[in-house]
Amino acid sequence: MYLQIENLQKSYGKDESFIRVLKGVSTGVERGQMCVIQGTSGSGKSTLLNCVGGLDTIDSGSVKVDGKEIFGLKPAQLSDYRRDNLGFIFQFYNLVPNLTVKENILICKHIAENPLDLDDLLETLGLTEHQNKFPAQLSGGQQQRCAIARALIKNPKLLLCDEPTGALDSSTSRDILVLLEEINRKYNTTMLIVTHNNSIKNMVHKVIRLKDGMIREEYENAVRVPAAELEDL
Ligand SMILES: Nc1ncnc2c1ncn2[C@@H]1O[C@H](COP(=O)(O)OP(=O)(O)O)[C@@H](O)[C@H]1O
Ligand SMILES: [Mg+2]
């Protein structure tokens, strides 16, 4: 199992503001699997992603990525873990506004051990002709493709996506999902994708549904629908 989560608990605040968010989550994802995390707003999806991504500390339990335990790592070790293993994509692209597309991507290339080829990646993502533009000169879909390129240039083994199509119209969402599918196939990247959209679950290998900080349902798809054929995006 590439990602193994055991009895993960996470709470925030104290006294009156204390809130238990993850109440003992156990699950696993195989290397190369695309996995969707579903659940209503507030069910703990982002918290789960942030715990796996080392952006947030864990109260108790275990999160192992490629056999390495994340729980208990010091901030500097967590930072190494993120640098060496992870790519992040968020709903809002978080690009650096005064850097070009190419420069936004290159920032992350510098910290990578085995980066992908920039020109190849720009080509795969359809960004070659936009590489010298600034984020404000791009459409939402192009900005998200730039954010994806920035996450992927490191060739991360694990890609964490929090509502990657949340701000996009349905046709642009489809383009982005087709890209994620292609990347999964090409680089065998393991992916955790948090989404509100009920259709995306049909294109992935595995689905986890959270309710009130617990896993309500999890299953693997026997048959997957290609992203290009998804309905109701
Ligand atoms: N940094 C934080 N401090 C306090 N409460 C938080 C924090 N992050 C999330 N929460 C709370 O945890 C719960 C789950 O949030 P979240 O994981 O963002 O849910 P989802 O992504 O499923 O909508 C919510 O009640 C939210 O208010
Ligand atoms: Mg969220």
Which CATH number fits the domain that encloses residue 41? 3.40.50.300
Which ligand has the nearest atom to the CA of 162? Answer: 2
Output the pLDDT for position 111: 85
Q: Output the pLDDT for position 6.
A: 98
Pocket test for ligand 1, best of 23, 36, 40, 46 (most atoms within 8 A of CB): 46
DSSP letters, 60-88, are EEEEEETTEE-TT--HHHHHHHHHHHEEE
Identify the residues whose C-beta falls under 6 Å from ligand 1.
12-13, 19, 21, 39, 41-47
**pLDDT of amino acid 125:** 87
Q: Give me the residues of the chain with pLDDT under 70, please.
A: none
Quote the crossing angle between the two packed helices 140-152 and 101-110, to the nearest 10°: 20
Domain interval for residue 178: 3-229
Helix (H, G, I), strand (E, B) or coil at 106: helix
**What is residue 233's predicted lDDT score, i.e. its pLDDT?**
87
Q: Whose CA is nearest to atom 18 of ligand 1?
A: 46
Q: How far is the CA of 206 from the centre of ligand 2 (A)?
A: 19
Q: What is the pLDDT of residue 104?
A: 96
> Which of 104, 113, 83 shows the shortest CA–CA distance to 149?
104
pTM equals 0.94
Which ligand 1 atom minimizes the distance to the CA of 210? Answer: 22
- Residue 231: the pLDDT is 92
Domain total in the chain: 1
Which ligand has the minimum distance to the alpha carbon of residue 212?
1
